Amino acid sequence: MTEGRLIDGFDAVLADLDGVVYAGQHAIPGAVEALESLAALDVSLAYVTNNASRSADVVAAHLQSLGAPARADQVFGSALAGAELLAARIPEGSRVLVIGSSTLADLVRAQGLEVVLSAEDSPDAVIQGFSPELGWKDLAEAAYAVAAGAVWVATNTDMSIPQARGIAPGNGTLVAAVAAATGKQPVVAGKPEAALFETAARHVGARKALVVGDRLDTDILGGNRAGMKTALVLTGVDTLQTALAAVHDERPDYLIPSLTAFYEPYPVARAVSGVHHRGQVSARVDGDSVLVEGAETDLDAWRAACSAWWTAHPLQDRVFLPRLQFTPERA
């Protein structure tokens, strides 16, 4: 038994970028065509990214260079989410110390807030985002203001960022430095918090959005926290094994091989006497094992295994991969 196409019933797609639309310098096979086809179905498209240093115009231009449909008003970064989150917490005209890029400062000004350069200007709030130009003096100014009682918002808390030469410290490491100095914690706008997804959905007018990402701990967790349906696409970081082993609040509603699966039927979950069916395969839990009547190469077998294990362990709070036994069905 199958339901309609996965995309049916959704009015917007909120898509992560790296690992979903592209990998490195190249678009992921089928991703561009899948995204282009959304418009014909009147499904809105938004791109959500934790990057707070690149403007929406720059991100859109990058996507366009790969052939993907993209306008600046379809790109939602944690800088915008952070600026809007901050504006909801302080009065219009308040003074804000911006620790981050000029893009972040411009977005703060667009909220009707005054940007200041030092803790000596008695800011009402601090917003902290990533910029490669940030140094100790910037972090010190943030610490002085936060310690003095300023409202503190962080655009995102990614601990690392990939660079051509390797992995470098991300905004989360800089936020952690201010937290260590002040003993305080910021309100966070970016993934895995809900604010970024809520911002994107609000701007595109979505009533029922599908969040699509390749990371359980950012995309899926954030979408779940926002109360939206989530799809883990298997073209990036996380895998079928990590999905099965995931803690309860990082479990996706859908497992898809690529974005082309938007337009394919998605098997309905059925459970009878503890046996979970997906398509023509089934799975059941036996202690710390999942017994699957299906081939390991069949995605539906993994979908059934996830249904069975997650149902048996609905509040799992630590990563745990059960033993799996696949038994291909007899012809």
Residues assigned a catalytic role: 16, 18
Distance CA 9, CA 43 (A): 10
Query: Which residue in the block uniquely carries the two structure tokens 């909120």?
Result: 14
- Beta strands 275-278 and 75-77 are unpaired
Distance CA 262, CA 242 (A): 22
Distance (Å) of CA 208 to CA 191, 233, 320: 19, 19, 31
Distance CA 169, CA 57 (A): 25
Question: Tokens at residue 149, please?
Answer: 């009682």
At position 258, the amino acid (one-letter code) is S
Distance CA 107, CA 311 (A): 43
Contacts of 286 (CB under 8 A, 6+ apart): none
Distance CA 41, CA 28 (A): 22
Distance CA 107, CA 129 (A): 12
Question: DSSP assignment, residue 250?
Answer: G
Distance CA 162, CA 81 (A): 22
Return the sign of the alpha-carbon dihedral for residues 64, 40, 6, 190.
Answer: positive
Question: Tokens at residue 292, please?
Answer: 């699957």
Among 250, 252, 251, 248, which Cα is nearest to 317's? 248
| Residue pair 88/117 in contact by the 8 Å Cβ criterion | no
- Beta strands 281-286 and 275-278 are antiparallel
